[in-house]
Chains A and B, each alone.
Chain A
Amino acid sequence: MPFDIYDFTSFTKWIDTSLENAMSPFWTTVTEMAIAGVLFILFYAVVGLFLVYAERKVCAFVQNRLGPNRLGPYGIFQTIADLIKLLFKELIPIKNADRFLFNLAPYIVIIVNFMVLGAIPYAKGLHAIDFNIGIFYIIAVSSMSVIGVLLAGWSSNNKYSLIGAMRSGAQIVSYELSVGLSLITMVIFAGSMQLSVIVEAQRTGWFIFKGHIPAFIAFVIYIIAGTAETNRGPFDLAEAESELTAGYHTEYSGIKFAFFYLAEFINMFIVASIAATIFLGGWMPFHIGTWEGFNRIMDFVPPFIWYLGKTFFVIWVIMLFKWTFPRLRIDQLLTLEWKYLLPINLVNVLIMAFIVLMGWHF
């Protein structure tokens, strides 16, 4: 296969062996961790800033506006200006706030993001950790971000924040089910929880095409539940601006607020990249049956580009959700989960299991 020229396995292997030759195994691990850490911090910052910019541009185009366009070409340095400003903004200590938890909350949100980012396959061999229970790990870790939100709301000594945090808690606890079940549908289909294996299994066709209707339903449910889990509109009850001013981060200012702000976007990126990995073939190029020429051309696009393209497509859809739909009410949010998504999801899992059992898939 020609697209194996973009295989990163040998490259990472080479780094590993050359480091091992140079120093002891312990220091090798430390150095590798340091390299990965720095790379992820850079990746995090770039993606976060880009997504903030992208959202502002997307919403501008949806709303017949131009959006930021004065800093750099098409205003691409806008978010950098925002970051500089937020870095040098005053951090206000809140009276009667639980100082420790108040300061801790933004970091929890950020740390959780990093833990998930490490487990996502960006290209063949470009993978920080390749767990054999990758999906399980991602579900487990990503649901921890609610702790940050809850702490922020609780420790702020602000009534709006508290209501926002409680809402967020109820929301994430229930939508975690849908995310889990829709991913389980695909795990049944793929027969593995290891992300690299799942991606490899999509070499002959993406799961959303291979998996008949159940895969498509699972995809739709995953997108809805994923949007809810990231606290984005129309599920942004935790920070519902027209009701709770800014929800759980009402009292945060400066860089701590920026952490929440960035984390929201990275969460969206994570949700989208899991959707891309599991449903849309990850870094696998798009192939149509036996069209050799077409497939060959598709193969020359680097896998990282494929991965990012799919991810940004999903992100675009999620952004459109936010800019189109009105916000749900808290009870409607829970009704949607427990009355609609969950039953459909359970039936969907059964159907998928049946399909796999009968061997009806391609």
Chain B
Amino acid sequence: MEEKAKDIITDEQQEYIINIGPQHPSTHGVMRLVVSLKGEFVLNVEPHIGYIHRGIEKMCESLTYPQIIHLTDRMDYLSAHINNEAVCLAVEKALEVDIPDRVKVIRTLMSELTRIQSHELFWASYGMDLGGQTCYFYGLRDREMVLDIFEETTGGRMIVSYNCPGGVMYDLHPNFRKRVKEFIKHFRKVLPEYDDILTNNVIFHGRTVGIGPLPLKEAIAYGITGPSGRASGFSCDVRKHEPYSAYDRVKFNEVLFTEGDSYHRYLARVEEMRESMDIIEQLIDNIPEGPYAVKMKPVIKLPEGEYYQRVETARGELGVFIISDGNKLPYRVKFRTPNFANLSVLNHLVKGFKIADLIAIFGSLDFVIPDIDR
């Protein structure tokens, strides 16, 4: 009997240790959180990563630049297009290629659509994490429309593999404009429903307002980027500060809040969907004519040196760092992925909150686990 008791109670302080994960509905993938509890209160959370470490950075060293792109798709699969864009921009920067305007606009449009579908999935899964299962279905219902747009143009639903160094793989489909407009019309209509179901719900407020607050100073110290950082007032939008592609020609607001709790992290994402729609509406009617890709050499060799390019994915700032030794294979590729940095703050946020809040905080940071492990 004593043997048994020892298993359950780990030490004198009577911490109750439970494993959340690797297989658990609310970890959104395979992530193990070792949670020490006292009653319902969380004392400590220890994230164990590596359950989906696939060695993407190492693999990149044995692949050519066009081949690397298909791996970045699978890193943060919800912002697949933006990841591709980051690598392409880095390669193009290194080669000093002039990219046609059409490509820039196409990439921006696709990035914003990617952002919308990613935030829709966030909305859906956050609702489900908190127990509102219908949110999940409404979010995915509308996401399907974006996936249709993707599939018609790129042939892939979520993993698009649409970018290539020098442009994009295929031209936009003739139906693209019509479909995007249809989607935006539909989405503007259903967003108020999202608000009715979740954003303004009193139970949802109770679950998220004031839960896991992250002050601005700590957000900067931990390097929290993306909507999570902006909810704390950290102005970190790469699109604004270091515009790439066609972001310098569109007007949009950087969604900033100061509270930094789960509710505002959630709100930042919902507001960003509106901003993204604004961006798309500004660009969709004046896509410049021109070629959809620059002719590149069949074997792309970067000149010797180090290249860095950062972009704003749906979850934060993605940095691509390439060291080239002049060969057709990169010498070293490093991805600064937003989720890995955002994960570091988890323990700091959840201390003293309840186990149900752990789920709310974890969900509000919107992790994609393969992006953490790479």
Q: Which residues of A contact B (CB under 8 A)?
A: 59, 62-65, 96, 159-160, 163, 233-234, 236-237, 240-243, 245, 322-332
Contacts and interface: CB of A to CB of B under 8 A. Distances in A.
A245 B25 contact: yes
Contacts of A242: 25-26, 128-131, 359
A122 B137 CA distance: 37
Contact of B131 (A65, A96, A234, A330): A234
A327 B129 CA distance: 9
Given A233-B133, A328-B203, A329-B354, 5 more contacts: A63-B138, A325-B132, A326-B201, A328-B206, A331-B40
A331 B357 CA distance: 11
Interface of B: 4, 8, 16, 18, 24-26, 40, 127-134, 137-138, 141, 197-198, 201, 203-204, 206-207, 354-357, 359
B133 A323 contact: yes
B207 A328 contact: yes
Contacts of A62: 134
B128 A329 contact: no
B26 A323 contact: no
Nearest to B362: A242
Nearest to B133: A323
A242 B40 CA distance: 15
Contacts of A326: 127, 130-132, 198, 201, 203-204, 207
A62 B204 CA distance: 20
Contact of A243 (B16, B201, B204, B355): B355
Given A241-B25, A325-B132, A234 B203 contact: yes
B137 A159 contact: no
A90 B354 CA distance: 35
Given A159-B16, A233-B131, A243-B359, A325 B203 contact: yes
Contacts of B137: 63-65
Contacts of A330: 40, 354, 356
19 contacts: A59-B133, A62-B134, A64-B137, A64-B138, A159-B16, A163-B40, A234-B132, A242-B128, A242-B130, A243-B26, A243-B356, A326-B127, A326-B130, A326-B198, A326-B207, A327-B131, A329-B207, A330-B354, A331-B40
Which of A96, A240, A322, A327 has the most chain B CB atoms closer than 10 A to its own CB?
A327
Contact of A325 (B24, B201, B359): B201
B132 A160 contact: no
What 6 pairs between A and B have smallest CB-CB spacing?
A327-B131, A63-B137, A326-B130, A326-B132, A242-B26, A329-B356
A59 B135 CA distance: 12
Contacts of A233: 131, 133
A327 B203 CA distance: 7
A266 B207 CA distance: 29
Given A64-B137, A243-B355, A325 B40 contact: no
A289 B2 CA distance: 71
A133 B311 CA distance: 71
A64 B138 CA distance: 8
Nearest to B136: A63
A59 B136 CA distance: 12
Contact of A236 (B4, B131, B197, B359): B131
Nearest to A241: B25
A163 B39 CA distance: 9
A99 B137 CA distance: 40
B140 to A, nearest CB: 9
Nearest to A233: B131
Contact of A245 (B8, B24, B127, B130): B24
Contacts of A160: 18
A324 B141 contact: no
Contacts of A59: 133-134
Which of A233, A245, A323, A329 has the most chain B CB atoms closer than 10 A to its own CB?
A329
Contacts of A328: 203, 206-207
A333 to B, nearest CB: 10
Contacts of A236: 131
Contacts of B354: 329-331
Nearest to B357: A329
A310 to B, nearest CB: 25
Contacts of B359: 242-243
B129 A329 contact: no
B119 to A, nearest CB: 18
B214 to A, nearest CB: 20
Contacts of A163: 18, 40, 355
B202 to A, nearest CB: 9
